[in-house]
Amino acid sequence: MNDPQAFQVDLRGVVDLFARHLYSGPRVYVRELLQNAVDAITARRAFDPGTAARVRFTFPAEGTLEITDSGIGLTAAEAADVLATIGRSSKRDVELGLGRTEFLGQFGIGLLSAFMVAESVEVVSRSAQDLTAPAVRWRGFDDGRYTLDQLDAADDASPAEPGTTVRLVARQDAEHWLAPETVVSLAEEFGGLLPVDVAAAVISPAGERLWRRTSRPDLPWERPEGLDDYCRDVLGFAPLTRFELSVPLAGLTGVAFVLPAAPPPGSGAHRVYLKRMLLGTRVESLLPEWAFFVRCVIDADGLRPTASREALYEDEVLLAVRDALAAQIKAWVLATVQAGSPARSTVGSTVGQRFVEVHHLALRAMARSDDEMLGLVTQVLPFETTDGLRTLVEVHDEHGQVLHADTVEEFRRVAPVARAQGLAVVNAGYVYDAEILARLAARRPGWTVRPLLTSDVSAVLTELDLDDALRLEDARRDAARLLAEQDCDVVLRTFDPDVLPAILLTDREATHQREARQAQAEADDVWSQALGDLTAAPVGPSRRLVLNCANDAVASLLAAPPGPRREAGLHALYVSAVLLSGEPVRAAESTLLSTALARLLDGVG
pLDDT tens digits along 74-123: 988 888 877 665 544 444 444 444 334 444 444 456 788 898 899 999 99
User: Residue 151 half-sphere exposure, CB side, CA atoms within 13 Å?
Assistant: 21
Count of Cβ atoms closer than 10 Å to residue 314 Cβ: 12
Strand ranges, E, within 97-204: 118-126, 136-141, 146-150, 163-170, 197-203
Q: Report d(CA 391, CA 213) in Å as an integer.
A: 54
> What average pLDDT does the segment 253-282 reach?
90
Q: Give the Cα-Cα-Cα angle 384, 390, 391 (nearest 5 degrees).
A: 110
Q: Report d(CA 591, CA 588) in Å as an integer.
A: 5
Q: What is the mean pLDDT of the chain?
A: 84
CA 530 and chain centroid, separation: 42
Percent of the chain whose pLDDT exceeds 90: 56
Given a contact cutoff of 8 angstroms between Cβ atoms, the answer to whether 72 and 129 are in contact is yes
Q: With 80 as the cut, is the pLDDT of residue 219 above it? A: yes
Q: Give the Cα-Cα-Cα angle 167, 169, 171 (nearest 5 degrees).
A: 145
* Window from 294-308, 405-419, 545-559 with minimum mean pLDDT: 405-419
211 forms bridges with which residues in the sheet? 201
- Report pLDDT for 348: 44
- Report pLDDT for 581: 76
Strand ranges, E, within 15-145: 54-58, 64-69, 118-126, 136-141
- Report pLDDT for 462: 85
Burial of 179 (0-12, 13-18, 19+ CB in 10 A): middle
Range with the largest mean pLDDT of 158-172, 258-272, 409-423, 514-528 = 158-172
Q: Report d(CA 498, CA 372) in Å as an integer.
A: 44
Instruction: Write out pLDDT tens, residues 23-32.
Output: 778 999 999 9
User: Residue 434 half-sphere exposure, CB side, CA atoms within 13 Å?
Assistant: 11
* pLDDT tier at 344, thresholds 50, 70, 90: very low
383 forms bridges with which residues in the sheet? 390
Instruction: Write out pLDDT tens, residues 312-332.
Output: 999 999 999 999 999 999 999
> Residue 17 contacts by C-beta under 8 Å, 6 or more apart in sequence?
none
- Report pLDDT for 108: 55
> Residue 202 contacts by C-beta under 8 Å, 6 or more apart in sequence?
180, 184, 209, 210, 211, 212
